[in-house]
Amino acid sequence: MKGLLNDICANPGKFVANKMSTKPYKIIVGLEIHVHLATRTKMFCGCELAYGEAANTRTCPVCLGMPGTLPVMNKTAVEYAILTALALNCEIPSFTKWDRKSYYYPDLPKNYQISQYDLPLSRAGSIEIPLEEGGTKRIRITRAHLEEDAGKNVHTLGPFSAVDLNRAGTPLLEIVTEPDMNSPGEVRALAQELQRIVRFLGVSEGDMQKGHMRFEPNVNLHIEHGGQVFKTPITEVKNLNSFRALERSIAYEAARQYEEFLETGQTLQMGNKKTFGWDDVHEMTVLQREKEEAHDYRYFPDPDLVPVEVGPEWLEEIRGRMCELPLAMQNRLVSACGLSEYDAGVLTGERATAEFFDAAVKLGADPKRACNLLTQVGLKLANEAGTPVDQLKITPDHLAKLAGMIEAGTISATAANTLFERIAKNGGDPEASAKEMNLIQSSDSGEIEALVDAVIAEQAQAVQDVVQETKKAKKARGFLMGQVIQKSGGQANPKIVAQILSQKLDAMK
């Protein structure tokens, strides 16, 4: 069994693609996603959110849970949460409240977490996810609610454990889906779509490395056998913090559950839910809790906080901050700009990129050329600089001009890439920069004709290959092209070179 599992893990996509169609089971996955909201301060105190600071430096008596302290709700966090819920087509009740969820753990200073229990700030929504095979699928959202994050236990300092409470109190949006996903790929697609949405909305950086998004899938199988459907016990995989781990853990669980079913015949019953962790090194799930412990969180309304009334005015104000969502924008770029699904997907990976592109097209840029420049050079540079595209020194206006210059034959596509990079780093006007860098193409046919003549005179062998249409004719033609452009110092417009060269060579036939 272990051999099989390792095999599956090494290539989950292949396994799923091959086996899904032949194996008589369906994977059922529901997902809980925790998203850190990018507010300036924590959920219930004034501490500024920061990542990677020295332990326990971003704390105050409130988030340390000191005696006598009281929480005060961060209104912006509630607004971010509602905005996200609206993007997920959720209902937003006019009344929501805070509850205490009790459990003892050293990283939880009060030994209760302020969360939302029976009246979450949103419920009953849906998200459209793009499918690998094309098209989309609608996944139902059960609810999304706000809570405070816990701190972190640290076990690496010596023969003791320590607690870092910098993260304690970070606003955390918990999104719960219905069990509507049926493959590891769909789950990954949902996670990535959600990342794109929260980034578009600006409510979270969605940075996986910084733990801004954590996933907990609930997985089981519906196995068809002899006309009957058997449901395997549900397993919950805790605290996954990468798309890869999320996808692989589900593939692994599916195979493991199927094997287990064949061995034990065990089916889903009350209380036989198991909890697993994910071993990133061995790429396998590891059992944490055999039976779902009768976890009694003793929820009750937090008497230190007043309920939140979300009136129509406030709701409209929040709704007013809604932007075009990534999937809708992606579809628009395909239909209105003629881009491929892939290119539209890359451009809408980040709102800054998408808006940069949109602005350039509005200024008259050819969409395909603008897209190529932006995705091939812009994103690379942005990535290197660790900033969004719109933080580079290049503007949509520059991009539109560069695209126009390619279109007009003033510069080559390669030259445009060089110019993009230079302007992105140092700023400057595209035309002036092109002149300065000697990147303006020559389209003067007289000048080019002279160069072509010179090359034909010099390269008798290649000319002969073309004229006599030998096997090497095609290669020789390319070689002659290259020679002309080289002679021009790279400035001859390739279109015109090709034209003149063809005329001359054809005349020699």
Partner 1 sequence: MMDSLTARELRDRIAGGEVTSAEATEAYFRRIDKLEPTIGAYLSLFREAALERAGQIDRKIARGEPVGALAGVPVAIKDNLCTAFGATTCGSKILEHFQAPYHAHVVEKLLAADAVILGKTNLDEFAMGSSTENSGLQQTRNPRDVGRVPGGSSGGSAAATAARMCAAALGSDTGGSIRQPAGFCGVVGLKPTYGRVSRYGLVAYGSSLDQIGPVTRTVEDTALLLQVIAGADERDSTSVPEKMAPVPDYTASLDRPVEGLRIGVVPHLNAGADAAVQQAVDAALAVYTAQGARLVELEMPHFDYAISAYYVIATAEASSNLARYDGVHYGYRSPEAQDYVEVYSKSRDEGFGAEVKRRIMLGTYALSSGYYDAYYLKALKVRNLIRGDFTRAFEQADCLMLPVSPTTAFRMGEKTDDPLQMYLADVYTIGVNLAGVPGISIPCGFDETNLPIGLQIVSAPFTEETLLRIARMYEKQTDWHRKEPTL
CB of 253 to partner 1, least distance (A): 28
Q: Which is nearer to partner 1, 114 or 496 (CB)?
A: 114
Question: Binding of partner 1 at residue 357 (CB under 8 A)?
Answer: no
Q: Which is nearer to partner 1, 158 or 489 (CB)?
A: 158
**What is the distance between the alpha carbons of residues 283 and 242, in angstroms, rounded to a whole number?**
12
Question: Binding of partner 1 at residue 65 (CB under 8 A)?
Answer: yes
Q: Which of 27, 45, 81, 476 binds Zn ion (CB under 5 A)?
A: 45
DSSP symbol at 497? H
Q: What is the DSSP string of 153-215?
A: EEEEEESEEEEE-SSTT-EEEEEEE-S-B-SHHHHHHHHHHHHHHHHHHTS----TTTT-EEE
The one segment of 55-63, 131-139, 148-156, 186-194 that binds Zn ion by CB under 5 A: 55-63
| Cβ partners under 8 Å of residue 49, min gap 6 | 38, 39, 40, 41, 42, 58, 170
Q: What is the CA radius of gyration of the chain?
A: 30
Q: Which is nearer to Zn ion, 71 or 120 (CB)?
A: 71
- List the single partner that 47 binds among partner 1, Zn ion, none, CB under 5 to 8 Å by kind: Zn ion
Q: Which two tokens stand for residue 384?
A: 């290197």
Question: Binding of partner 1 at residue 4 (CB under 8 A)?
Answer: no
CB of 303 to partner 1, least distance (A): 4
To the nearest 10°, report the CA torsion of 504, 505, 507, 509: 170
Q: Output phi, psi for 62, to 5 deg.
A: -70, -50
The one segment of 108-116, 246-254, 420-428, 453-461 that binds partner 1 by CB under 8 A: 108-116
Please provide the distance, in angstroms rounded to a whole number, between the alpha carbons at the two ends of the chain.
70
- Binding flags for partner 1, 21-60, as an x/- string (CB under 8 A): ----------------------------------------
- Beta strands 136-148 and 171-177 are antiparallel
Question: Binding of partner 1 at residue 298 (CB under 8 A)?
Answer: yes
Question: Binding of partner 1 at residue 102 (CB under 8 A)?
Answer: yes
DSSP symbol at 387? S
Q: Which is nearer to Zn ion, 45 or 197 (CB)?
A: 45
Are 164 and 152 in contact, with CB atoms under 8 Å apart? Answer: yes
- List the single partner that 69 binds among partner 1, Zn ion, none, CB under 5 to 8 Å by kind: partner 1
Q: Which of 13, 19, 26, 73 binds partner 1 (CB under 8 A)?
A: 73
Q: Which of 12, 30, 71, 396 binds partner 1 (CB under 8 A)?
A: 71
Name residue, tokens 């808006």.
355
Q: Which of 53, 304, 429, 444 binds partner 1 (CB under 8 A)?
A: 304
Q: Which is nearer to partner 1, 167 or 477 (CB)?
A: 167
Q: Which of 20, 55, 60, 268 binds Zn ion (CB under 5 A)?
A: 60
Q: Which two tokens stand for residue 153?
A: 């236990």
CB of 71 to partner 1, least distance (A): 7
The one segment of 78-86, 104-112, 284-292, 406-414 that binds partner 1 by CB under 8 A: 104-112
CB of 308 to partner 1, least distance (A): 11
For residue 169, give Cα distances in angstroms to 96, 150, 308, 311: 19, 6, 19, 26
CB of 67 to partner 1, least distance (A): 4
SS3 call for 496? helix
Single-letter amino acid, residue 57? T
The one segment of 66-74, 228-236, 411-419, 433-441 that binds partner 1 by CB under 8 A: 66-74
Question: Binding of partner 1 at residue 154 (CB under 8 A)?
Answer: no
Are 455 and 492 in contact, with CB atoms under 8 Å apart? Answer: no
CB of 103 to Zn ion, least distance (A): 21
Q: What is the DSSP string of 82-129?
A: HHHHHHTT-B--SEE--EEEE---TT-TTSEEEE--SS-SEEEEEEEE
Single-letter amino acid, residue 486? Q
Longest pairwise C-alpha distance within the chain: 97
- List the single partner that 63 binds among partner 1, Zn ion, none, CB under 5 to 8 Å by kind: Zn ion
**Element (DSSP H or E) covering residue 500:** helix 494-508
Helix, strand, coil percent values for the chain (each to nearest 5): 45, 20, 35
Question: Binding of partner 1 at residue 161 (CB under 8 A)?
Answer: yes
Q: Which is nearer to partner 1, 164 or 355 (CB)?
A: 164
Which residue in 140, 130, 133 sits closest to 29, CA to CA? 140
Single-letter amino acid, residue 122? S
| Binding residues for Zn ion, total number by CB under 5 A | 5
Question: Binding of partner 1 at residue 106 (CB under 8 A)?
Answer: yes
CB of 57 to Zn ion, least distance (A): 11
Question: Binding of Zn ion at residue 73 (CB under 5 A)?
Answer: no
CB of 99 to Zn ion, least distance (A): 20
| Binding residues for partner 1, total number by CB under 8 A | 29
Sites of contact with partner 1 (CB under 8 A): 61, 64-73, 100, 102, 104, 106, 109-112, 161, 163, 296, 298-300, 303-306
